[in-house]
Amino acid sequence: MRLEYFEMIDTVVALDREAGRIETRSVVPAASPVFEGHFPDHPLVPGVLLTETMAQASGYLLLARDDFARMPFLMAVDKARFRAFVEPGAELTVEARIVHEGSGYAATAATLSAGGRRIADAELRFRTMPFPAGLDGRMREQAARIGLLAGAPSA
Amino acid sequence: MSSTFETVAGIISETADIPREKITPESHAIDDLGIDSLAFLDIAFAIDKAFGIKLPLERWTQEVNEGKVPAEEYFVLKNLVARIDALVAAKAA
């Protein structure tokens, strides 16, 4: 994870395009400017960044599902819950699945856990649109970095 | 008033925070109720879930934008309700 660059996903552990399911892994860095303010001498990953982590896992799932035909943009976060603190060094797993594919949007359910313990969960919705100019290639670069395009094992 | 209309009106009222009494079968979702495209996606999600269908919003929007179909055909609520009923019937067939 590079929190300040919003690179929240390190690796795609498993992907099942047909079933609409993904599992990702991320390691919280030991140090980040984010922790200077959240909170001084008591570093915790902000809940908004845990939500972003679940959203990015879901987004990569939708990108893979659509074979990079459309870009998902987060449009709604429902029923988000944060059940435990996440500290530097934590190893995070996100499991996300598609719960509905509408016309021009999709909904996912995501759970973030650490050490087998559920930390956070949310229902997320994304507007799916044609890629803005130039973003397609950059998203493919990010997807390659995390192994999404490398044939991740089936979930 | 059909049960489909009542369900749709309830969804619109709750999702877009519009008083229920302002929503009639003749209401135009955009022109009369002021629902924007993002809010309409929220409404579409709730309608999809409630009726177990997939509103073809993108196709409708494209047809309207290309001038092939007047917006009223899709976005006046009595017409929207008729299309929902048709989608439900097609699914059951």
pLDDT tens-digit map of A38-76: 999 999 999 999 999 999 999 999 999 999 999 999 999
- Which sequence positions of A are flagged as catalytic? 38
Tell whether the model's pLDDT for residue A154 goes beyond 60: no
Strands (E) across A2-132 are located at 11-16, 21-27, 71-82, 91-101, 105-114, 117-129
pLDDT tens-digit map of A123-153: 999 999 999 998 999 999 999 999 997 755 5
Fold of B3-92: 1.10.1200
DSSP state of A99: E
Strand order in the sheet with A21-27: A11-16, A21-27, A91-101, A105-114, A117-129, A71-82
Q: Is B45 on the interface with A (CB under 8 A)?
A: yes
Question: Best residue in B36, B38, B41 to probe A by mutation, most A CBs within 10 Å?
Answer: B41
Q: Is B59 on the interface with A (CB under 8 A)?
A: yes
pLDDT tens-digit map of B5-43: 999 999 999 999 999 999 999 999 999 999 998 899 999
CB contact under 8 A, A104 and B41: yes
Give the CATH H-level superfamily of domain A3-145: Hotdog Thioesterase (3.10.129.10)
Q: Which residues of B touch A107 (CB under 8 A)?
A: 45
Provide the shortest C-alpha distance from residue B71 to chain A (in Å): 17
Listed by start position, the domains of chain B span: 3-92
